[in-house]
Amino acid sequence: MERLHEHGIDAEAVPPGELRAPLDSMIAYLDLLLEEDLSEREARHVIEVIRGGATRLRQMVQDSERPTRPPGSGC
């Protein structure tokens, strides 16, 4: 937790459950790609779902990196 704060990331801004859901989904879809014989169309859909999860995670991290202003600081 301290290391995250050192890098300007407010770890408390993103509850672990919010990170876990997209990660679990992405892992499940990656397993599907590895274990199933999918058509090209099905595989493309799975990849798009994984990309969506990664995009959501990136946004959560970016949001948590934004500096927070103390109450009453103006701006």
Domain boundary assignment for the chain: 2-65
Contact 19, 63 (CB under 8 A): no
Element (H, E) at 24: helix 16-35
Q: In Å, how far from its chain's centre is CA 50?
A: 10
User: 1.20.58, 1.25.10, 1.10.287, 2.60.40: which CATH number matches 2-65?
Assistant: 1.10.287
Q: What is the pLDDT of residue 1?
A: 45
Q: Which ranges of the chain have pLDDT less than 70?
A: 1-14, 66-75
